[in-house]
């Protein structure tokens, strides 16, 4: 892949200072000169250890009710909420760019949100309608759906809330129904992002009972309670109503061994793939998970990471293409098999043109 940098320093500047020691002291008697392998683009390409391709990308999109509508998410420059017809067009674009999979997140009308997130299990909710339309138009692209109640609850939490406590087992029951309506709509990958205990096993069992043996599960297994999710909550419309934080179910960012226990449990319960989230600040976790389990391991470059880079690019402080490529190569280097990123279409275009 051609990353174009400026001309090499040597060709612009005189390296040897005028009053350098006499030329007889050079060359140094070095046994190793690692720079030899960095000398030219063909050589750098030849020894490159990791490669990023469009097949590494999962493209998250936000859908909204309406027709021919795109509404910008103000805290995510360049990202719009899409009406279903617009989302279908973007998935067609994903197909052309050979992006294998998209992830669909709904902005649920506030009037449809309630205490128990009942819209989550409506077989005709926005997500299910979007999935049906996408699979009908572009069946060759995979569709992943988040399982969690936060886009549907009036309080913005991922689970059922009673006396300020997020109920685990009762929530798992609802999530199982949510997964079923999504699978029924044609979703290929169910991705529980709620961090309730035992939900992967319950969902696997329910999917199998309903004949959905081929629907895969990508567990948000090591999902941390993170401030980097802020812009996403704007996008799905849960930030204004969210009461408190999610630290009783999402992980403490001070922990690392715990991530391995969480991943181990989700795999035992039947997860096909696991995810670490957020992304860049948690590459140590990606590396540990990949080394310990050797299963398909994904990372989510979350909304806050997207917005940080985009804001700096908008200000002219960072070069967008180079920064985005570098950030995604970092995931590959850490051992990720793929990355959920809002930069997916942009990156696929960069990769295609280089
Ligand atoms: N449970 C829902 C969910 N699924 C993905 C994200 C965050 C994604 C992003 O920030 O891009 C969240 C938000 C949260 O847990 O509060
Ligand atoms: Mg867990």
pLDDT tens-digit series, residues 294-330: 999 999 999 999 999 999 999 999 999 999 999 999 9
What secondary structure letter does DSSP report for 151? T
CB 229 within 8 A of CB 302: yes
Cα gap 354→341, rounded to integer Å: 20
pLDDT average, residue stretch 185-212 = 98
pLDDT averaged over every residue in the chain:
95
CATH of the domain at 202: 3.20.20.70
Check pLDDT > 90 for residue 8. Answer: no
Q: Specify if 156 maps to a domain.
A: yes
Cα gap 353→304, rounded to integer Å: 27
Q: Is 302 in the pocket of ligand 1 (CB under 6 A)?
A: yes
User: Which atom number of ligand 1 is nearest to the Cα of residue 60?
Assistant: 11
pLDDT average, residue stretch 334-348 = 98
Check pLDDT > 90 for residue 13. Answer: no
Mutate to test the pocket of ligand 1, among 59, 60, 76, 150 (most ligand atoms within 8 A of CB): 150
pLDDT average, residue stretch 271-297 = 98
pLDDT average, residue stretch 94-100 = 98
pLDDT average, residue stretch 277-304 = 98
Give the model's pLDDT for residue 243: 86
What percent of the chain stands above pLDDT 70? 94
Neighbours of ion ligand 2 (CB under 5 A): 262
User: Which atom number of ligand 1 is nearest to the Cα of residue 148?
Assistant: 1
Q: Specify if 244 maps to a domain.
A: yes
pLDDT in tens, 106-142: 999 999 999 999 999 999 999 999 999 999 999 999 9
Q: Specify if 33 maps to a domain.
A: no
pLDDT average, residue stretch 327-342 = 98
pLDDT in tens, 66-85: 999 999 999 999 999 999 99
- The residue segments making up the domain with residue 287 are 51-353
Catalytic residues: 223, 277
CB 54 within 8 A of CB 99: yes
Q: Specify if 58 maps to a domain.
A: yes
Q: Is 75 in the pocket of ligand 1 (CB under 6 A)?
A: no
Q: Specify if 24 maps to a domain.
A: no
Q: Whose CA is nearest to atom 10 of ligand 1?
A: 229
Give the model's pLDDT for residue 15: 57
Cα of 266 to ligand 2 centre, how many Å? 6
Q: Is 232 in the pocket of ligand 1 (CB under 6 A)?
A: yes
Give the model's pLDDT for residue 189: 98
> Of 146, 280, 274, 269, which is closest to residue 220 (Cα–Cα)?
274
| Ligand approaching nearest to the C-alpha of 239 | 1
Cα of 198 to ligand 2 centre, how many Å? 7
Cα gap 171→246, rounded to integer Å: 14
Q: Whose CA is nearest to atom 16 of ligand 1?
A: 229
ipTM over 0.95: yes
φ, ψ (nearest 5 deg) of residue 94: -60, -45
Q: Specify if 277 maps to a domain.
A: yes
Cα gap 105→222, rounded to integer Å: 20
Q: Residue 1: pLDDT band by 50, 70, 90 thresholds?
A: very low
pLDDT average, residue stretch 175-197 = 98
Check pLDDT > 60 for residue 258. Answer: yes
Check pLDDT > 70 for residue 17. Answer: no
> Of 223, 280, 229, 283, which is closest to residue 253 (Cα–Cα)?
223
Structural domains counted in the chain:
1
Cα of 179 to ligand 2 centre, how many Å? 16
pLDDT in tens, 205-242: 999 999 999 999 999 999 999 999 999 999 999 998 89
Cα of 255 to ligand 2 centre, how many Å? 14
pLDDT in tens, 137-158: 999 999 999 999 999 999 999 9
φ, ψ (nearest 5 deg) of residue 72: -65, 145
Q: Specify if 173 maps to a domain.
A: yes
Q: Residue 93: pLDDT band by 50, 70, 90 thresholds?
A: very high
Check pLDDT > 90 for residue 95. Answer: yes
Cα gap 228→93, rounded to integer Å: 28
CB 68 within 8 A of CB 242: no
User: Which atom number of ligand 1 is nearest to the Cα of residue 231?
Assistant: 10
Residues in contact with 115: Cβ distance below 8 Å, sequence separation at least 6, in sequence order? 153, 154, 155, 161
Q: Specify if 209 maps to a domain.
A: yes
């Amino acid at each position: 892949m051609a990353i174009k940098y400026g001309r090499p320093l040597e060709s612009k500047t005189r390296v040897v200072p005028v009053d350098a020691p006499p030329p007889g002291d050079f060359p140094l008697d070095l046994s190793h000169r690692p720079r030899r392998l960095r000398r030219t683009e063909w050589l750098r390409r030849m020894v490159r250890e990791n490669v990023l391709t469009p097949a590494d990308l999962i493209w998250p999109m936000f859908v909204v009710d309406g027709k021919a509508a795109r509404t910008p998410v103000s805290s995510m420059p360049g990202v719009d909420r899409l009406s279903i017809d617009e989302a279908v067009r973007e998935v067609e674009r994903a197909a052309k760019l050979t992006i294998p999979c998209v992830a669909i997140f709904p902005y649920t009308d506030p009037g449809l949100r309630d205490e128990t997130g009942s819209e989550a299990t409506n077989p005709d909710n926005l997500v299910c309608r979007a999935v049906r339309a996408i699979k009908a138009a572009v069946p060759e692209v995979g569709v992943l759906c988040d399982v969690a109640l936060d886009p549907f609850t009036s309080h913005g939490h991922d689970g059922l809330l009673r006396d300020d406590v997020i109920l685990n087992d009762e929530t798992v029951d609802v999530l199982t129904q949510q997964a079923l309506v999504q699978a029924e709509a044609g979703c290929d990958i169910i991705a529980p992002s709620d961090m309730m205990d035992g939900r992967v096993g319950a969902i696997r069992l329910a999917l199998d009972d309903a004949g959905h043996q081929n629907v895969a599960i990508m567990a948000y297994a090591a999902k941390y309670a993170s401030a980097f999710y802020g812009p996403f909550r704007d996008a799905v419309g849960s930030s204004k109503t969210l009461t408190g934080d999610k630290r009783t179910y999402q992980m403490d960012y001070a922990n690392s061994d715990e991530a391995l226990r969480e991943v181990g449990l989700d795999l035992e319960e039947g997860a096909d793939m696991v995810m670490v989230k957020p992304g860049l600040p948690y590459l140590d976790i990606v590396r540990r998970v990949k080394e310990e389990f050797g299963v398909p391991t994904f990372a989510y470059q979350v909304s806050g990471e997207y917005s940080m880079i985009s804001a700096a690019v908008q200000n002219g402080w960072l070069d967008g293409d180079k920064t985005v490529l570098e950030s995604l190569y970092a995931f590959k280097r850490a051992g990720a098999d793929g990355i959920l990123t809002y930069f997916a279409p942009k990156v696929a275009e960069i990769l295609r043109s280089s």
